[in-house]
Amino acid sequence: MSVVRELSPGWLLDHLSFINKISYELHQHHEPCCSKNEPTSSVHVDTLHMDSMSSFGASATCIASTTKPENDDGGNCEMFIQKYVFRSELFDVTKPYITSAIHKECQQSNEKEELVNDVKKEISISVNGKKRKRCVVFNQGELDAMEYHTKIRGLILDGSSQLIQEGLKSGFLHTLYEKRDKYSEPITLPLDTCNLSELCEMAKHLPSLNEMELQTLQLMEDDISVTEQDLFLRIVENNSSFTKMITLMGQKYLLPPKSSFLLSDISCMHPLLNCKKTYDVIVIDPPWQNKSVKRSNRYSYLSPLQIKQIPIPKLAAPNCLVVTWVTNRQKHLRFVKEELYPSWSVEVVAEWHWVKITSSGEFVFPLDSPHKKPYEGLILGRVQEKAALPLRNADVKELPIPDHKLIVSVPCTLHSHKPPLAGNIPAFLLFTAKGN
């Protein structure tokens, strides 16, 4: 189960378990076929560790097996099966991200929060051996952040503590002392070499194609003729019951059964709109602008105007649930609630938080750190129609959404991997897509 424990404050999730429940199996037929009279062989399994740098960016481990199912002619044809599972080391967060030295600095800096009611405080600093007094003034953004943290701190701490205690009781979480023998040496992982962001940027500069050329590409059972150019600027679907492997710029990607994707920049959304499908749940994780992104140049960010231009009204089904991941910057939270959702005719119905913990139940950052918090927010809203429209299925009742819930989990060490919202928590967060 992906949900380790459910309590009134929220859920303790096993993100790794959720990923591995997806059937990442590659099925390959091998010729020549065996004789009709040859008995079917038993399945044998070997564990293989793929070259993660050249295949899945340190994310997957492969288990291979061979079987001989009966074909249409009554004979036996050898089938090679590869099952991929996510590397558990990527969730081996045994210690908080922050070091002891930085933690001490954070503790010293916590005095800033005492200034919410007294904005100015005189402190002494030494300059060239002389002391002088300096007046520290917090800007409005810092004051808003302090006020917001004070408001939700109790909910975060009390709810997380309850779920963490249940995790320790169940054995899902372990104290550092219990895990010391199991993980005696630190695990070094290769750098994440995923180039999807570069591919999307490349797709944006490709010449425009007409609607015929932008038709949906359906991956066939044994289709090995798909080129990289075929995958850009169009919906690619895997309607089979098995995983498909595609290669882009020398890197291999797994496409789960009954799934699809669009490899494009948001400036080219018409292939998705041309599918004429609407969605009951839409989850958005925008690349928000912040100082860290500017300094690291890790990825491009979107301006508020660009985020507004995402065609949610055209993609949303009646009563669609829209979920937006937001950083802790108050400017972004206000933008989503006061500008973005109203522009999409979406009404804010709840604000939840993802709390990131270690495998021993500690916050990955000190809860009161003035720099980084161990939680992130997600804003939930419902699409509001001008005229009341019935739900597609009259037998399905719209479930009420709690004002506040916590999603507590050990985060993946790969950048910006969010916890699952589908298949493990209430039905109003199930991902479905239907055509009108």
Pseudo-torsion of CA 86, 89, 93, 98, nearest 10°? -110
Q: Which of 9-13, 195-199, 258-262 has the highest mean pLDDT?
A: 9-13
Q: For 285-300, how does the pLDDT look when each residue is reduced to its tens digit (9 = 90+)?
A: 998 887 665 666 666 7
More confident residue, 430 or 415: 415
Helix, strand or coil, per DSSP, at residue 17: helix
pLDDT of 434 reads: 41
Give yes or no for a contact between 224 and 247, defined as CB atoms under 8 angstroms apart.
Answer: no
Give yes or no for a contact between 44 and 24, defined as CB atoms under 8 angstroms apart.
Answer: no
pLDDT band at 358 (very low <50, low <70, confident <90, very high): very high
How many whole angstroms separate alpha carbon 325 and alpha carbon 328? 10
How many whole angstroms separate alpha carbon 349 and alpha carbon 428? 12
Show the DSSP H helices in 78-210 as ranges. Answer: 100-109, 140-170, 176-179, 196-204
The tokens for 156 are 């975060």
pLDDT band at 381 (very low <50, low <70, confident <90, very high): very high
**67: which strand partners?**
79
**Which residues are within 8 A (CB) of 207 and not within 5 positions of it... i.e. 6 or more apart?**
none
The DSSP symbol for 70 reads B
Q: For 42-83, how does the pLDDT look when each residue is reduced to its tens digit (9 = 90+)?
A: 222 232 334 333 345 557 666 656 555 555 555 556 777 888
∠ CA 247-60-238 to the nearest 5 degrees?
45
How many whole angstroms separate alpha carbon 417 and alpha carbon 90? 11
pLDDT band at 396 (very low <50, low <70, confident <90, very high): low
pLDDT band at 35 (very low <50, low <70, confident <90, very high): very low
pLDDT of 253 reads: 86
Q: For 102-150, how does the pLDDT look when each residue is reduced to its tens digit (9 = 90+)?
A: 555 555 555 444 444 444 444 444 445 555 555 567 788 888 889 999 9
> 255-269, 348-362, 401-415: which range is least confident on average?
255-269
pLDDT of 355 reads: 97
How many whole angstroms separate alpha carbon 336 and alpha carbon 334? 5
Res 41 pLDDT > 80: no
pLDDT band at 229 (very low <50, low <70, confident <90, very high): confident
Q: Percent of the chain, pLDDT > 70? A: 64
Q: For 336-356, how does the pLDDT look when each residue is reduced to its tens digit (9 = 90+)?
A: 999 999 999 999 999 999 999
**127: which strand partners?**
130
How many whole angstroms separate alpha carbon 383 and alpha carbon 322? 7
pLDDT of 422 reads: 76
Q: What is the mean pLDDT of the chain?
A: 75
Closest-CA residue to 314 (of 259, 212, 383, 379): 383
